[in-house]
A and B are shown apart, each in its own frame.
Chain A
Amino acid sequence: MFATLKFAALLLAVVVCWATQDYDYNDAEIDEEPTLGDSPYGSLWPLPQKVQISTVVFKLSGASFHIFDAKASSSGASCRLLQNAYRRYDEYIFTSSRKQGQNKSKKALASDMSELQVWITSADSECDSYPSVTSDESYKLSVDSPVAVLKAPKVWGALRGLETFSQLVYKDEYGAKSINRTDIHDFPRFAHRGLLLDTSRHFLPIKVILANLEAMAWNKFNVFHWHIVDDPSFPYLSRTFPQLSQHGAYHPYTHVYTPSDVKMIIEFARLRGIRVVPEFDTPGHTQSWGKGQKDLLTPCYSGASPSGSFGPVNPMLNTTYDFMSMFFKEVNTVFPDAYVHLGGDEVDFSCWKSNPDIQKFMEQQGFGMDYSKLESFYIQRLLDIVTTTNKGYMIWQEVFDNGVKLKSDTVVHVWMGNKVEEELQKVTEAGFTTILSAPWYLDYISYGQDWQKFYRAEPLSFKGTDAQKKLVIGGEACLWGEYVDATNLTPRLWPRASAVGERLWSDRDVRDLNDAYSRLAKHRCRMVQRGIPAEPLFTGYCAHEYKGV
């Protein structure tokens, strides 16, 4: 085993392929032409940071190939996360062939690869922890005969490496599973690679969320930003305030997420190295909260009398903060992630302005006519509440723009389409970490290959110091729910979100559209074969078309 490793190291030393088209064809041991297709990187997506693929091909036999823990690994049979992943990837790799049993009669050849050893190198594998923004996702993968080795400091890197390994396997012209001798050293460019799903405008059944978490893992996304509630509905079933979903959900039983649903989603995500960051957006976007929580929202006035409609959360009542305090205490215990998203976007001041009590309160506080000061007042009290729960928080950019005092570790979420670079510059100049979504609103659709637009976007193109650029910790693709539900969510997301996935994982210089197109077309066929209805990029076909309806 060490002999092969040494050879791999030698190869690595000769050519380190840094995301360019050229790679080493001059291998002495060519015995078969590689059938990797148009891109020298086959179907790898997102492209690893350093990859070197040789023309030497090994066969994998479904009957004899296995994924094991390496002897020296700090993680063993008790690590459910990895054992689960081994089984998952074994299924992905051998989907159809093992059923047919085509390789069973054949004895493994000497040049076959019989196992993938997974070696967690650091003492604490983090097998039972939750992933976080500082989790180490790096890994090294060396594919050689008879053993391939995947080395990673933590389980998170091992998960990413398993995905990469599965993407290296292809069928040769006779249908035999094949893999080229390959060396990969990989790590993400950005630590926060998220996807926002909106379960308020349309309720998304659990099954849909889980399927998309699965697809996220295939694209090396690591944050599920769960925009769980909003104006139209409140599907989160709160133990402390059950009336919120009882009255605020589309339906109190069929259109809610129970505590066990939420738990299941968090665990499912954890097993795939994905964080779940819930968003409880206030003080705007809260119409549905008002249905189950009396006096939480501001009564709007029409002239001198209440109009019967309600505006944002009422910022002048102590009961509001008592409620928030209890509510976020619960959120803190339910969602293990170190961050919670507090929203704070698009607050409409007209209702506050109409309300005489609010007007009086403004006067008392000396806010004059500046309602953004009132918003700041609310947000600051809310931030104080959340700070006591030891959670970090993320907020939409308006909160920063409006000059609210923020904790130094606040993550500012940039989403507005105009003056994006200027905003990033300002936010990072002020010393805040930030994530970018502005170029990646996937709910906007247009005719043709708009994945290219998402792919071309570059998060660090703004003017700023290196220190400022380091504060950009990643980005998120957003799929808002106005026109999206279980019927069309998955094909609308994939493979368009995959384009964002590569931008956030791979090196900045990986931007060749032709190469990306070739890899992405294959990657989408792989997603289809694994059961996700990822829509086509353009005319063409997959060997295995989507079998659903």
Chain B
Amino acid sequence: MEEKTISNSRRCYKQWLWFMVLFMSFSVIYVDAVWPMPQMISSSMARYTLNPREFIFQYSSGSSAQPGCSLLDSAFERYYPLIFTDYRHDEWFRFPFTVVVHVERAECEGYPDADSSESYKLSVCSGQAALRAETVWGALRGLESFSQLVYQDDFGEYFVNETEIEDFPRFQFRGILLDTSRHYLPLHAILKTLDAMSYNKFNVFHWHIVDDPSFPYQSSTFPDLSSKGAFHPLTHVYTQIDVKRVIAHARLRGIRVLAEFDSPGHTQSWGKGQPGLLTPCYKGTVPSGTFGPVNPANSSSYQFMTRLFKEVTSVFPDSYVHLGGDEVDFTCWKSNPDVRGFMLKMGFGTDYTKLESYYMENMVNITKGLNKTAIVWQDVFDYHEKLCCSSLSVVEVWKGGCYLCEVRRVTKAGLRVVLASPWYLDQPGPTHDWARYYTVWPLAFKGTEQQKTLVIGGEVCMWGEYVDATNLSPRLWPRASAAGERLWSDEKMTSSVIDAFPRLVDFRCRLLRRGIQAEPLFVGHCRHEYQGI
């Protein structure tokens, strides 16, 4: 009680003394509590009691966002129970506390996008925390940080320490890929992942929505695609309402939804509902009955794609769309006489990479016509490199080996890069290899400053061969958190695995407390263990 009284009598000065530098491990004080690590944080031993009954969020008078800002109003609703995980009735003390939020530009009904600012400043002092951000997206990040500063002592009382934070992301694109084709993920599994993403300050949900095994996206233009291509036409599809719900849930958490409709390969399931789209493979002079990639020799293929992407780009508001373009198997194209005839006509000789490039260029042009920026997997760049690259803009690097060599090549060609290679989390491995995902240095390649700015971010990939709703969460978290810090935080401040370990252990317990099924890093316990099965 003594200490509280002292703290409360204290005033918060602008010229506040930053007498405790970060990285000093005080077990009593939770200065390192925020994950991912803010760019600048300092805090003191002074701590303030929070009383759930007298805690409020407020808009500052000068803020351009005011009550009625749906995005922040609902964030306040969300963060209150996240901060006060078990609500106790304490009648005997009065410690009013206000989080005052100030936003420069209110885009309360908008969607986060590639150039949205996420920076914020947070200053916690007696009775008040001031959160200032340029945009509502920054305010969301700041609320998350604030919620992580609050902790409970052994008697269940809530505290927050005097703290100053100035924060902004290192990379603008911080994504997680979920694959809903190899296994169907029920909506609640996706929404839950979005929740956990926001706790880790991820801001892009890369929805690898369709692929060879199934086509769960219910298209309003081509309903046959899912009615014939999904695992089940009713129970294993995402309706337009489902998709809207995912986008809305993501928006409220400052997360972009980047849809991927991968072609011309990885499209077996498309063929079931769209006859004539895929290339018929031949055995000698007769069709074998099997099908290959999308048929690039038919103009009808492009007409179909134009209509599909017209729908896709109107359903998904993000300015990016992912076109895939990876792992195209040429054997079926080679077997088909019409495709061979087309090759001859186009003067491609026997170089099928030219055919793929031709196809992808058409696809990129279709999306350009729809005012969207196309992302493609690195395969497209690798084929294109020899030709031209004017039409490409963002390349996702995914192959193993010397991935930084590839990053260097792509940026040298003046294209933007999203790096995924080091973060293929579907490969399970013992959990303690979280460090593998932490000790990644995305800019450690030889290149100009200009080249480095072209690396716009990275992405965690959770491919679905062995993953569905039964094991998704523990396989993602907290290993994805390691990547999350790498993509958000300053590299120098977060280069040590040894420093990160205890912070991540605490953070994973916090995730558990919030109902996220995050697996353990090593032997130990959380005060509140996971209560599901």
Contacts and interface: CB of A to CB of B under 8 A. Distances in A.
Contacts of B468: 535-536, 545-546
A15 interface: no
Nearest to A235: B525
Contact of B214 (A445, A484, A541): A541
Interface string B465-490: 11111110111000000000000000
Interface stretch (B60-68, B155-163, B511-519): B511-519
A515 to B, nearest CB: 21
Contact of A232 (B183, B517, B523): B523
Interface residues of A, number: 48
A539 interface: yes
Given A488-B471, A549-B515, A254 B527 contact: yes
Given A486-B529, A487-B474, A448 B523 contact: no
B527 to A, nearest CB: 7
A538 B466 contact: yes
A549 B189 contact: yes
B368 interface: no
Interface string B260-283: 000000000000000000000000
Given A545-B469, A549-B188, A481 B183 contact: no
Contacts of B213: 539-540
A205 interface: yes
Interface in B176-226: 182-184, 186, 188-189, 192, 213-214
Given A233-B525, A445-B428, A481-B523, A487 B471 contact: no
A533 B475 CA distance: 13
Nearest to A486: B530
Interface in B433-465: 464-465
A492 B471 CA distance: 8
Given A533-B470, A534-B470, A549 B532 contact: yes
Given A483-B522, A541-B236, A490 B533 contact: yes
A547 interface: yes
B524 interface: yes
B10 interface: no
A511 B192 CA distance: 40
A486 B522 contact: no
B209 to A, nearest CB: 15
Nearest to B188: A549
Contacts of A481: 523
A208 interface: yes
Interface string B144-188: 000000000000000000000000000000000000001110101
Contacts of B533: 207-208, 211-212, 486, 490, 531-533, 548
B362 to A, nearest CB: 29
Contact of B520 (A251, A254, A487, A538): A487
A528 interface: yes
A301 to B, nearest CB: 26
A250 interface: yes
Contacts of A446: 428
A482 B428 contact: no
Contact of A445 (B232, B429, B467): B429
A541 B470 contact: no
Interface string B78-111: 0000000000000000000000000000000000
A526 interface: no
Contacts of A254: 527, 529
Interface in A212-261: 212, 232-233, 250-251, 254-255
A205 B471 contact: no
B186 A545 contact: yes
Nearest to A482: B523
A531 B533 CA distance: 9
A202 B525 contact: yes
A536 B232 contact: no
Contacts of B515: 549
B531 A205 contact: yes
B170 to A, nearest CB: 29
Contacts of B432: 483
Contact of A203 (B466, B469, B525): B525
A538 B518 contact: no
B466 A448 contact: yes
A205 B531 CA distance: 7
B431 interface: yes
B57 interface: no
Given A251-B527, A536-B470, A483 B430 contact: yes
Contacts of A445: 428-430
B9 interface: no
A201 interface: yes
B355 to A, nearest CB: 28
Contacts of B235: 543, 545
A232 B518 contact: no
B474 A207 contact: no
B427 interface: yes
Contacts of B427: 447
B272 to A, nearest CB: 15
Contact of B523 (A201, A487, A549): A201
Q: Which of A482, A491, A547 has the most CB of B within 10 A?
A: A491
Contacts of A90: none
A485 interface: yes
B231 interface: yes
A60 B47 CA distance: 66
B312 to A, nearest CB: 23
Contacts of B475: 488
Nearest to B427: A447
A203 B528 CA distance: 11
A539 B192 contact: no
Nearest to A533: B470
Contacts of B192: 549
Nearest to A447: B427
A537 B533 CA distance: 19
B521 to A, nearest CB: 8
Contacts of B523: 201-202, 232, 481-482
Given A486-B529, A535-B467, A548-B469, 6 more contacts: A203-B525, A211-B533, A447-B429, A485-B519, A490-B470, A541-B184
Q: List the 5 closest pairs (A to B, CB-CB), nearest first.
A: A488-B474, A533-B470, A491-B471, A250-B525, A541-B231
30 contacts: A201-B523, A202-B525, A203-B529, A207-B531, A207-B533, A232-B523, A232-B524, A250-B524, A255-B525, A445-B430, A447-B427, A447-B428, A447-B466, A483-B520, A486-B529, A487-B520, A488-B517, A491-B474, A534-B470, A536-B467, A536-B468, A536-B470, A539-B182, A541-B183, A541-B184, A541-B214, A543-B235, A545-B235, A546-B186, A546-B469
Interface of B: 182-184, 186, 188-189, 192, 213-214, 231-232, 235-236, 427-432, 464-471, 473-475, 512, 515, 517-525, 527, 529-533
